[in-house]
Amino acid sequence: MVILMNWSRRIALFSIAAASALAQAPKAGSIFDSGLAGSLLAADTPPASITEARGAEGWGTSTSFSSGSWLQIKGTNFTNIAFQQWVGSDFTANTAPTSLGGVSVFVNGKSAFVNFISPGQVNVQAPDDPAVGPVAITVVNNGVVSNSVFATKVPVSPGLLAPPSTFPFSFFVNGKQYLEATFGAQNLYVGSPNFVSNFPYPFKAAKPGDSVWLYGIGFGDVDPPLPAGQVAGADKIKAPLTISFDQTQANVTYMGHYPGYVGLYLFIVTVPNVPAGDHQIIVNLNGQPLPQSVYLTTN
């Protein structure tokens, strides 16, 4: 299977092939695991300071999150490591790590799954938790606990991947936010040729009958159930879902987690019979439209 390991999906993508090859690798012990050396390390570690914790749905600036969705936590002194992202050897079988480089995150007192750490930002997948409303988030670096901040937890917080203007390669062009969509499991993107300046992969407008892949996070429960932090197999979103190009409904042949990844949803959509041009992609989940204005281009 071709793995779409590009710049913008780093927080959610994980290759099961890598997990299978590396998850059983023995973990070397360290003098810092416990005892006096660990205490001395903690004593020399300045406490982290969180300034904000926000949901990452749609690659935007969501003010809420849900179980199994993603959080971006920003602040200072999270770690002295320049940056680190999980790899296969950090997994235990098919379960993502709850600590990375000595950094752990707690959401409402429950361990989150730590995907990325740097001195100023930590990305995690939120753990399963029935609580809703304001919940406390803390970061622990080598045993030293940060301040707590509160973020709003909701039952479901769906969003399609659409890189905003704050990203190095923005899909916000000429006043419109376009989706990150591909022609199957390859780095051929849906869009007018060269519409994102200096993007490393080619674009092509879709035409009626083409099968295109859309990506998302935070779409909620699936059948069979998949706990947070687990590498996905094939499943199906439980709530009713429709995808339309403007007012023309498309045929969705798959709507569930992307097999082999953590916290990433995949939608395989057949482009309906619509005229050439830009079309607003309207997603309804359980009868409610997603609060996104996003577009794809057809010819």
pLDDT, tens digit, 9 for 90 and up, residues 103-131: 999 999 999 999 999 999 999 999 999 99
Confidence band of 168 (pLDDT split at 50, 70, 90): confident
Task: Give the Cα separation of 182 and 88 in Å (integer).
Answer: 25
Tokens in use for 141?
A: 């670096």
Angular region, 126: left φ>0, alpha ψ -120 to 50, beta rest: beta
**pLDDT exceeds 80 at position 164:** yes
pLDDT at residue 62 greater than cutoff 90 = no
| Three-class DSSP category at 152 | strand
* pLDDT given for residue 244 in this prediction: 98
Contact present, 294 and 177 (Cβ < 8 Å): yes
Domains, the chain, with CATH or none: 7-23+46-153 (2.60.40.10), 159-298 (2.60.40.10)
Angle at 97 between CA 96 and CA 101, to 5 degrees: 145
The arithmetic mean of pLDDT across residues 223-240, rounded, is 97
DSSP E strand boundaries for 210-293? 211-217, 222-223, 236-237, 241-245, 248-249, 251-257, 265-270, 277-285, 288-289
In this predicted model, what pLDDT tens digit does every residue of 70-114 receive, in sequence order? 999 999 999 999 999 999 999 999 999 999 999 999 999 999 999
> In this structure, what token pair is assigned to residue 190?
């849906």
Among 203, 188, 189, 80, which Cα is nearest to 142's?
80
Asked whether residue 39 carries a pLDDT value surpassing 80, the answer given is no
Residue 295 has pLDDT above 70, yes or no: yes
Distance, CA of 53 to CA of 136 (rounded, Å):
10
Residue 22 has pLDDT above 80, yes or no: no
> Could you tell me the sign of the dihedral formed by the alpha carbons of 231, 236, 237, 243, in that order?
positive
Q: What is the mean pLDDT of the chain?
A: 85
Q: Position 49: which residue type? A: S
Checking if the pLDDT of 42 tops 50, the result is no
Residue 197 has pLDDT above 90, yes or no: no
For residues 151 and 55, the answer to whether their CB atoms sit within 8 Å is yes
The residue to which tokens 């390390």 are assigned: 41
The Cα 163–Cα 271 span in angstroms is: 21
DSSP secondary-structure letter at 94?
A: T
**Residue 129 CB coordination number (10 Å):** 17
129-146 pLDDT per residue, tens = 999 999 999 999 999 999
Under 8 Å between Cβ of 122 and 50: no
pLDDT beyond 90 at 17? no
| Distance (Å, whole) CA 263 – CA 245 | 25
H or E element, residue 141: strand 133-141
% of the chain surpassing 70 pLDDT: 83
235-277: pLDDT as tens digits: 999 999 999 999 999 999 999 999 999 999 999 999 999 999 9
- The shares of helix, strand and coil residues in the chain, as percent rounded to the nearest 5, are 10, 40, 50
Q: Could you tell me the pTM of the whole model?
A: 0.85
Query: Between 32 and 69, where is the model more confident?
Result: 69
Answer yes or no: is pLDDT of 10 > 50. no
The pLDDT value recorded for residue 188 is 94
Joined together, the tokens standing for residue 151 give: 């973020």
What local confidence, expressed as pLDDT, does residue 58 receive? Answer: 59
